[in-house]
């Protein structure tokens, strides 16, 4: 069953320490873990699969090494990197997965999401998402020359090439009713997501059964990884995982 889950790394050249930590995690896990699931916002900003802004090539190379060692890589698009496409998947040897996706590990069904669609209380964001994150808008944006796309997308994210680390924004939390409705729809009692940057595990009753919502932490100041093993699911810091 061994699998790792991470999200919201927001990797960029402004935070070299976190970049190095992620590469170390990949090197440690390569060949040891069956799979790594990245549930969105791996990158602080991704302006298209031709986005070779540093440190993107380095990350792609490290991911390719990971899959070459025999481990599987599954990547979900987040709200920062929803422009990730087939070329990225091919270069890394990974597979893009839908949001949401249900996987079965160790006989248990897990619902995987980035998490932004659960924040239905944030009406402004949900409207923005509907406009920006649809095939038509994406395809239109991808016809814009890369240099201009990068300036627009990285600029929107408050980043210029190789400088600003990107401030973590405050994000509205998930709406519990939406969480429960979604879990019922996919008939699961275990949900793993990121996006809200509120790391932790929330237990609650869902139709008389214990349900768990695992929230992956962001890598702005801290870092976190969810480790799935025969003993269940455990959230921990990356350093703790590296010591296992």
Partner 1 sequence: MKVQLVTKLGGITLELDAKRAPRTVENFVSYVRSGHYNGTIFHRVVEDFVIQGGGLDRNMKEKPTKPPIRNEANNGLSNLWGTVAMARTSDPHSASAQFFINTTDNAFLDFSAETDDRWGYCVFGKVVDGMDVVEKIEDVKTTTRSGYQDVPEEIVLIEKAEVIEE
Residues that bind partner 1 (CB under 8 A): 202-205, 209-210
Q: Six-digit token pair at 16?
A: 């070299």
Closest contact distance (angstroms) between CB of 203 and partner 1 is 4
Host H or E run for residue 191:
strand 190-193
Which burial class, exposed, middle or buried, applies to 160 when counting CB atoms under 10 A from its CB (0-12, 13-18, 19+)? exposed
Closest contact distance (angstroms) between CB of 202 and partner 1 is 8
What interhelical angle do 16-29 and 56-68 show, nearest 10? 10
Closest contact distance (angstroms) between CB of 144 and partner 1 is 48
On whether the CB atoms of residues 180 and 206 are closer than 8 A, the answer is yes
Closest to partner 1 by CB, 86 vs 208, is 208
Closest contact distance (angstroms) between CB of 7 and partner 1 is 23
Closest contact distance (angstroms) between CB of 148 and partner 1 is 50
Closest contact distance (angstroms) between CB of 218 and partner 1 is 24
Closest to partner 1 by CB, 163 vs 209, is 209
Maximum CA extent, the chain: 54
Which runs of consecutive H residues, i.e. helices, occur in the chain? Answer: 16-29, 56-68, 86-92, 123-132, 135-142, 146-156, 176-185, 238-243
Closest to partner 1 by CB, 161 vs 210, is 210
Count of C-beta atoms within a 10 Å radius of residue 47: 27
On whether the CB atoms of residues 9 and 42 are closer than 8 A, the answer is yes
On whether the CB atoms of residues 140 and 219 are closer than 8 A, the answer is no
Angstrom distance (rounded) from CA 39 to CA 6: 6
Closest contact distance (angstroms) between CB of 204 and partner 1 is 5
DSSP state of 43: B
Closest to partner 1 by CB, 15 vs 212, is 212
């Amino acid at each position: 069953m061994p699998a790792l889950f991470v999200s919201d790394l927001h990797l960029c050249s402004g935070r070299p320490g976190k970049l190095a930590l992620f590469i170390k995690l990949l090197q440690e896990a390569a060949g040891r873990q069956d799979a790594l699931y990245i549930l969105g916002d791996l990158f602080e900003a991704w302006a298209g699969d031709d986005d070779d802004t540093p440190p993107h090539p380095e990350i792609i190379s490290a991911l390719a090494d990971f899959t070459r060692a025999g481990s599987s890589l599954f990547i979900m698009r987040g709200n920062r990197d929803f422009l990730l496409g087939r070329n990225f998947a091919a270069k890394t040897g990974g597979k893009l997965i839908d949001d949401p996706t249900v996987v079965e590990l160790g006989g248990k069904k897990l619902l995987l999401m980035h998490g932004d669609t659960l924040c239905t209380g944030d009406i402004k964001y949900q409207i923005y998402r509907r406009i920006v994150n649809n095939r038509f808008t994406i395809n239109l944006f991808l016809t814009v020359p890369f240099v201009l796309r990068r300036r627009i997308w990285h600029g929107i994210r408050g980043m210029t090439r190789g400088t600003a680390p990107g401030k973590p924004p405050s994000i509205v939390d998930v709406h519990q009713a939406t969480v429960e409705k979604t879990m019922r729809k996919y008939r699961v009692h275990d949900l793993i997501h990121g996006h809200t940057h509120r790391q932790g595990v929330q237990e609650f009753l869902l139709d008389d059964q214990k349900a768990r919502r695992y929230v992956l932490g962001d890598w702005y100041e801290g870092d976190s990884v969810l480790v799935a093993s025969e003993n269940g699911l455990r959230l921990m810091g990356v350093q703790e995982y590296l010591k296992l």
